[in-house]
Amino acid sequence: LGLSGPPGAGKSTFIECFGKMLTERNHKVSVLAVDPSSSTSGGSLLGDKTRMTELSRDMNAYIRPSPTRGTLGGVTRTTNEAILLCEGGGYDVVLVETVGVGQSEFAVADMVDMFVLLLPPAGGDELQGIKRGIIEVADLVAINKADGDLVVPARRIQAEYVSAMKLLRKRSKVWRPKV
């Protein structure tokens, strides 16, 4: 499962909750979290693991943060190989969290069975849903943080994305992307 979305959409928090749910159901979960590398120093914070404290202590979970090291597309040069190694190592669910910073960070969509775009409610320009790029390859658009005062904006952005996705060409005869 590939997951992407803008900064602040709650990707790491979602992965921790979803990953814990899966391990409680006796799945072995691997998380490959990709962080951007600095164009100045080449370094990377690799902080996603620190936001998944419970999952990182779970014996049925493995979390591997990796830097992009200049690779474009939201993944690392070796993400596909890392997915195969995790599957070969007995992990039956592999979650790949991309850098997630724009319309073109969706290389992971070709590496996974399902590509999920996580969006926060009231995330800005309502026309984001009809822009080409990442939305065209999403199998599922999940509006995250849809509680409290954000319920109404979440429902509005959901309706906008449902409408926008009707304008996109179908990629599959058996699956229609959901919002």
Residue 135, φ and ψ in degrees, nearest 5: -65, -25
Give the separation between CA 95 and CA 33, rounded to whole angstroms: 8
0.75 exceeded by the pTM? yes
Check residue 171 and give its pLDDT.
Answer: 78
Domain-located, residue 149: yes
Check residue 132 and give its pLDDT.
Answer: 62
Tell me the one-letter amino acid at 135: I
Q: How would you write the pLDDT of the chain (179 residues) with one tens digit per residue?
A: 999 888 888 898 999 999 999 999 999 999 998 876 555 555 545 556 667 889 999 999 999 888 766 655 566 778 899 999 999 999 999 999 887 665 556 678 888 999 999 999 876 554 454 456 788 888 999 999 989 999 999 999 999 888 888 887 777 888 889 99
Check residue 155 and give its pLDDT.
Answer: 93
Domain-located, residue 124: yes
Domain-located, residue 176: no
CA trace torsion 22, 157, 112, 49 (10° rounding): -50
Q: Which domain holds residue 41?
A: 1-165
CATH number at 61 reads 3.40.50.300
Domain-located, residue 177: no
Number of structural domains found in the chain: 1
Check residue 73 and give its pLDDT.
Answer: 56
Domain-located, residue 178: no
What does DSSP assign to residue 108?
Answer: G
Q: Find residue 142's DSSP bridge partners.
A: 118
